[in-house]
Amino acid sequence: MGKYKIKTLNGISESGLEKFGQNFEIGEKIDSPDGIILRSASLHEVELPDSLHCIARAGAGVNNIPIDKCTEKGIIVFNTPGANANAVKELAIAAMLLSSRKIVEGINWTRSLTGDDVAKQVEKGKAQFVGPEIRDKKLGVIGLGAIGVMVANAAVNMEMEVYGYDPYISVDHAWGLSRSVKKANDLKKVFKHCDYITLHIPLTDETKGMLNKEAFAQMKEGVRIINLSRGELVFDEDMVDALQAGIVSEYVTDFPNEKVINVPGVIPVPHLGASTPESENNCAVMAVLQTKDFLENGNIKNSVNYPVCDMGISTVKHRLTIAHRNIPKMLGQISAVLSEQGTNIANMINRSRGDYAYTMVDLEEEITDENVKRIKDIAGVLKVRVI
């Protein structure tokens, strides 16, 4: 077949794109792409072409992608969890220090000084910027994925008392978590005891506005909150009220908006969580390698809408991949079509995720166009590819 076509919607790191190799055509003006790689560009109002097999987000969040629409069309959506974890971890640690020591306020004040006695003015005025150390303070980490685990472990190393909350923590992340991190069975424990709270969770219907009036009422007075995950996790109006009431002493957000940008106690960071060259390279490389493996071999890793499914490198005449609904008798119907053609199945794998599933079949003979169409016409089949 000809080259696979990849459309890029943002400036994707060249160190990642070069991993595609010569079998791929890449650019911003590609028509009828097989795959799309993007960072923050929104696809919600974009018509997805029939040629499209996959979308890769060079980052963890996928709120800019219409997941339900893609799933119904059999389009695999990838993200790159963990690729930017160290960058966000470092900013979270910096955010705790910035919120404690009044560094930003102090620098802004110092820049406003005039005259030939600046040094004396500094010594006279520095007392207004006194702030506590973070050592021995209590930190609540909400969300123990790749980033949350790294933040929790770093805080332990800085001699903080760390509470971790995540009812859905994976086995791999649990293994990576320091034994010194205390388990919080509910958010009330985090709110009641912690001097600092940092959010590392995705935005969902369940988590939207989770820090609101009711949550702030349960918090320790003077708590410092860091939000490097998603702005909508915090209800802005309630945060402003909590700051004015002294419940929250500082709020560091990586998602500033007109509601909070000039509120005293808010440190607005211009969405710098993953803004390091290392992070951008890591995300691009991971997104590219996942896209390349999927298009060339049909394998799925780090998809947000379809299950993990891997049969390695294809070495047979044809590999058939089928995205379909997770319903009874699907495998039997697919096998029946292949059996009627007299095609020998060398290997077959099926994985499901909720209401959807993905099947890979290695064939020792070519499958006819007619039988590909027959499989496509099976009720519940969403997309069929022949590799």
Q: Kindly provide the residue ranges of all beta strands, DSSP E only, lying in the chain, ordered along the sequence.
A: 4-8, 24-27, 35-38, 54-57, 76-78, 138-142, 161-165, 182-183, 196-199, 223-227, 248-253, 266-268, 318-325, 345-353, 356-363, 381-386
Greater confidence (209 vs 364) lies with 209
| Domains identified in the chain and CATH numbers | 1-83+275-305 (3.40.50.720), 85-268 (3.40.50.720), 307-387 (3.30.70.260)
Of the residues 230, 319, 324, 374, only one is catalytic, namely 230
Distances (CA, A) of 93 to 87, 105, 109, 221, 297: 10, 18, 23, 21, 40
pLDDT for 61: 83
pLDDT for 315: 84
pLDDT, tens only, 262-289: 999 999 999 999 889 999 999 999 999 9
* Tally of CA atoms within 13 A in the half-sphere of 14 that contains its CB: 0
User: Among this protein's residues, is 258 annotated catalytic?
Assistant: yes
Placement of tokens 């016409």 in the chain = 377
pLDDT, tens only, 227-269: 999 999 999 999 999 999 999 999 999 999 999 999 999 999 9
Of the residues 45, 47, 221, 258, only one is catalytic, namely 258
* Cα gap 213→219, rounded to integer Å: 10
Per-residue pLDDT at 1 exceeds 60 = no
SS3 content of the chain, % helix, strand, coil (to 5): 35, 20, 45
pLDDT, tens only, 352-363: 999 999 999 999
Q: Round the average pLDDT of the chain to a whole number and report it.
A: 95
pLDDT, tens only, 157-195: 999 999 999 999 999 999 999 999 999 999 999 999 999
* Cα gap 61→53, rounded to integer Å: 20
Distance of CA 354 to the CA centre of its chain: 20
Of the residues 271, 325, 353, 385, only one is catalytic, namely 271
pLDDT for 373: 95
pLDDT, tens only, 68-89: 999 999 999 999 989 999 999 9
pLDDT for 343: 83
Question: Which among 97, 143, 88 is positioned nearest to 272, based on CA atoms?
Answer: 88
Kindly state the average pLDDT of the residues 80-104.
Answer: 95
Per-residue pLDDT at 329 exceeds 80 = yes
For 72, the enclosing helix (H) or strand (E) is helix 67-72
pLDDT, tens only, 200-234: 998 889 999 999 999 999 999 999 999 999 999 99
The two tokens of residue 167 are 């009812």
Distances (CA, A) of 369 to 230, 286, 338, 385: 46, 33, 12, 11
When pLDDT is cut at 50, 70 and 90, the band that residue 126 belongs to is: very high
* Cα gap 357→117, rounded to integer Å: 72
Kindly state the average pLDDT of the residues 56-74.
Answer: 94
Neighbour-count burial for 207-239, b at 16+ CB within 10 Å, e otherwise? beebbbeebbeebbeebbbbbbbbbebbbbebb
User: Among this protein's residues, is 271 annotated catalytic?
Assistant: yes
Per-residue pLDDT at 294 exceeds 70 = yes
* Cα gap 57→310, rounded to integer Å: 20
